[in-house]
Amino acid sequence: MKLSLAGVGPGREACITGQVREALGSAGLVLATPRLYSSFRHLNPRTEAIRLADLPERIRAAETAGERYVLVLVSGDGGFFSAAARLRREFAHLDITCLAGLNSLQYLCAALRRGYEGIKTISVHGRGPENSLTLAALPPRERLAAQVLPHVAYNSDVFLLTGGEQSARAVIEVVTEAGLGEALVSVGENLSLPDERITTEKARALCGRDFAPLSCLLIRNEARADPYERLPDSAFTRRMGERGASGASALVPMTKQAVRALVLDALALRPDDFVADIGAGTGSVSIAMARQARRGMVWAVERDAAACALCRENIERLGSRNIRLLQAEAPDMPELPPVDKAFIGGSGGAMEAVVATLLARNPATRLVATAVTLESLHQASRAFSNAGCAYEVICCNIARAEERGAYHLMRAENPVYIISGARHAR
């Protein structure tokens, strides 16, 4: 049996290609979702309306019945976030052809008189947790944030397909709540159809509005962060607003630049990782991790309210919006989902319990901790060992040049121990 997967564009008959029209006329059986059925059934009398979930079973029945040519209609283009990919895998034994169609990105960009080179494209329509343990553990709103914010934070232009629970309204609200209300959003509703509408305004102005169920969005973030930007220690604010008895404002502890680089190397972050920073302090490690995991999310956990405010200030100023800040006491951290990697910069003396909590939520989590005293090194090593982790320890001794008159002398910083390991090799 020959099987063709045909993209029919955004929904209007005038938008289909001549190739697809010819295939519609010659197919022995045409299968279409109810929405497409109403638009294209008049082009072939043997067109059937069928739910997407029932398509594979119907195709198998057609093969058993001896059908010679089955045409499946998919909206947009079969190569652009389409059910066609799953059907190609499931029916690889058949003679399959794919017929290109006009997708909503092309249509919307043409209507806005814009090119689409360099636009980051994602879909939250029908995109569930898939194989991600982290996404599966998140409530729908937080899952949407984890799917959208990393891309909007680090790209000038992002195109999104929406639908169902993950609506255009929800996407715009998530973007605005993350501090990106100045981003310019174009919403395309019912493209190519008589009730087509394209709206362009700042995200904060569109907040609270409802849009058609299958809308698409184009988000321009001119204030995007550069994930490759160097972040020296001077890039972070460390002083809390309130002053102590001495009259000086307090400095929040911070993992210094050279140690951050070694911590990131020990974590072995991938762009899609979901990561935790326990004892976030100023957020210096959280922000550095968020930029390396630029298609994932970081959960920054800090118990002190003043330090949380400082961390939030650094996040907002440096633009790494793929960070969720949690004020929580380790090891409980009830809002922290299972993560791929975790950095423990501070445990409040509960290192063993923190390690146990992280591994209980995901036994494959890779762990990295730092220690500056022999006692804390012993606690971390024992915690890793008792948790069944294979681990290694390195000690880094950093010295920086300081100007002294006409000369420069090296000034040593405190030695830092970095403990890294996991139960399972990654």
Q: 233-241+250-422: which CATH topology? A: Rossmann fold (3.40.50)
DSSP string, 200-212: EEEHHHHTT----
Residue 127: the pLDDT is: 52
pLDDT for 293 equals 96
Q: Within 10 A of 313 (CB to CB), how many other CB atoms are there? A: 16
Give the pTM.
0.88
Segments in 330-387 forming alpha helices (H): 351-361, 374-386
- 55 contact partners, CB below 8 Å, separation of at least 6: 31, 72, 83, 87
Q: What is the DSSP string of 34-101?
A: HHHHHHHGGG-TTEEE--GGGHHHHHHHHHHTT-SEEEEEESB-TTSS-THHHHHHHTTTSEEEEE--
Query: CA torsion angle for 384, 389, 392, 398 (degrees, to 10)?
Result: -50
Q: Cis (ω within 30 of 0) for the bond into 227?
A: no
- pLDDT score for 126: 58
Tokens of 110: 């043409």
Task: Give pLDDT tens digits along the chain (426 positions).
Answer: 999 999 999 989 999 999 999 999 999 999 999 989 999 999 999 999 999 889 999 999 999 999 999 999 999 998 888 788 888 889 989 889 999 999 999 999 999 999 999 999 999 975 555 558 899 999 999 999 999 999 999 999 999 999 878 899 999 999 999 999 999 999 999 999 999 999 999 999 999 999 999 899 999 999 999 999 999 999 998 876 544 444 445 778 889 999 999 999 999 999 999 999 999 999 999 999 999 999 999 999 999 998 999 999 999 999 999 999 999 988 989 999 999 999 999 888 899 999 999 999 999 999 999 999 999 999 999 999 999 999 999 999 999 899 999 999 999 988 999 999 999 754
What pLDDT score was predicted for residue 248? 47
Q: What's the CATH fold of domain 106-220?
A: 3.30.950
CA 298 remoteness from chain centre: 10
Q: What is the pLDDT of residue 74?
A: 92
CA dist 291 and 226 (Å) reads 8
Give residue limits of the domains in the chain: 2-102, 106-220, 233-241+250-422
Contacts of 54 (CB under 8 A, 6+ apart): none
> What is the fold of 2-102?
Cobalt-precorrin-4 Transmethylase; domain 1 (3.40.1010)
